[in-house]
């Protein structure tokens, strides 16, 4: 369905784009610093789900509307930015509740993990970088003569998702490893939680202030 040369070319393009840290990577780092490895990995999973949902949206033709309509694009971007700021404020507000013992999984970890995955998915699906990439770049690598364009897009979309899963996991593990050093002191951990919250707030503001202006 998708030729090998097109697949490899799209993989190279995906690697180039993904290697530049964007909102999702910074969000994962912020969550890792604020809450640790478990939350970071759950966020990575959610981000992957949200990112592939973007692929599905593009495959169904909605992505082109988002890319071409300034109003829709701005609405999606601002919604994602506002959610990032909200999560950052929450992390900063509860920074003093973070203790070294909190690194262990709590009794209601399953529910917390589900909420974290949802958070990651919302950030992934509203990521302006992902919207532009999947809406503007992905359609260029399909073979129009082969037909079944939505199926081709769904298949090609798995490539950046796989690359992102690996790179985002490495970012999350690296950030959480740095956090574990701070966790030896509850004061350090509180400072890291606040820093993670500020990082997410700053990220939200950056997302809102940048992007397509035309």
Please write the tens of the pLDDT for every residue from 87-138. Answer: 778 777 776 665 544 444 444 444 478 889 999 999 899 887 788 788 777 8
Q: Which residues, in sequence order, are CB contacts of 159 under 8 Å at separation 6+?
A: 7, 10, 11, 14
Question: How many whole angstroms separate alpha carbon 16 and alpha carbon 42?
Answer: 25
The answer to whether residue 77 sits within a structural domain is: yes
pLDDT at residue 52 in the model: 95
What average pLDDT does the segment 47-66 reach? 84
Query: Looking at residues 206-211, what average pLDDT do you find?
Result: 68
Q: What is the pLDDT of residue 42?
A: 94
Task: Tell me the percentage of the chain whose pLDDT exceeds 90.
Answer: 18
Domain membership of residue 145 (yes or no) is yes
The answer as to whether 17 is a domain residue is no
In a domain, 181, yes or no: yes
pLDDT tens digits, residue range 160-173? 999 999 999 999 99
Provide the domain limits for residue 37: 4-8+23-209
Per-residue burial over 27-46, b = 16 or more CB atoms within 10 Å of its CB, e = otherwise? bbbbbbbbbbbbbbbbbbbb
Q: Domain count for the chain, please give it.
A: 1
Domain for residue 147, yes or no?
A: yes
Whether 128 is in a domain gets the answer yes
């Amino acid at each position: 369905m998708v030729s090998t040369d097109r697949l490899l070319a799209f993989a190279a393009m995906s690697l180039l784009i993904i290697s530049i840290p964007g909102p999702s990577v910074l969000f994962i780092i912020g969550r890792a610093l604020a809450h640790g490895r478990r939350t970071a990995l759950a966020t990575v999973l959610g981000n992957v789900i949200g990112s592939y949902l973007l692929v599905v949206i593009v495959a169904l033709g909605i992505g082109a509307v988002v890319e071409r309509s300034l109003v829709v694009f701005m609405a999606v971007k601002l919604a994602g930015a506002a959610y990032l700021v909200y999560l950052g404020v929450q992390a900063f507000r509860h920074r003093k509740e973070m203790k070294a013992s909190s690194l262990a999984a709590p009794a209601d970890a399953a529910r917390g993990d589900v909420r974290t995955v949802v958070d990651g998915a919302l950030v992934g699906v509203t990521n302006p970088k992902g919207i532009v990439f999947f809406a503007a770049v992905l359609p260029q690598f399909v073979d129009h003569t082969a037909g079944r364009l939505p199926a081709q897009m769904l298949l090609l979309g798995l490539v950046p998702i796989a690359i992102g899963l690996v790179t985002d996991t490495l970012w999350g593990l690296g950030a959480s490893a740095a956090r574990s050093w701070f966790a030896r002191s509850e004061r350090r951990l509180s400072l890291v939680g606040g820093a993670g919250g500020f990082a997410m707030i700053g990220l939200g503001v950056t997302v809102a202030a940048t992007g397509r202006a035309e």
